[in-house]
Amino acid sequence: MGLDLPFLFDTLRQLLAALPVTLALFVLSISFGAVLALGLTAMRLSGIGILDRLARAYVFVFRGSPLLIQMFFVYYGLAQFPAVRHGPLWPVLRDPFACAVIALALCTAGYATEIFRGAILAIPHQQVEAARAAGMSGWLLLRRMILPIGLRQALPAYSTELILMVKSTSLASVITVIEVSGVAQHIIAQTYRTMEVFLCAAMIYLVVNFTIARLVALLEHALTPHLRGQPLSVIAAAAAVPVERAALH
pLDDT band at 101 (very low <50, low <70, confident <90, very high): very high
Residue 43 predicted with pLDDT over 90: yes
pLDDT band at 247 (very low <50, low <70, confident <90, very high): very low
Contact indicator for 18, 90 with CB cutoff of 8 Å: no
Closest CA to 161 of 114, 95, 101: 114
pTM above 0.75, yes or no: yes
Q: What is the 8-class DSSP label of residue 87?
A: S
pLDDT of residue 245: 36
C-alpha distances in angstroms, 203 versus 8, 78, 174, 195?
A: 12, 35, 21, 12
Residue 29 predicted with pLDDT over 50: yes
145/59: higher pLDDT: 59
For 1-12, how does the pLDDT look when each residue is reduced to its tens digit (9 = 90+)? 567 788 999 999
245/81: higher pLDDT: 81
| Average pLDDT of span 149-160 | 88
Q: Percentage of residues in the chain with pLDDT exceeding 90? A: 60
pLDDT band at 226 (very low <50, low <70, confident <90, very high): low
Instruction: Return phi, psi of residue 168, to 5°.
Output: -70, -20
C-alpha distances in angstroms, 137 versus 8, 126, 233?
A: 59, 15, 34
What the chain holds in terms of domains, given with CATH numbers, is: 5-247 (1.10.3720.10)
| Average pLDDT of span 25-30 | 97
| CB-based burial, 183-193: b 16+ in 10 Å, e otherwise | bbbebbeeeee
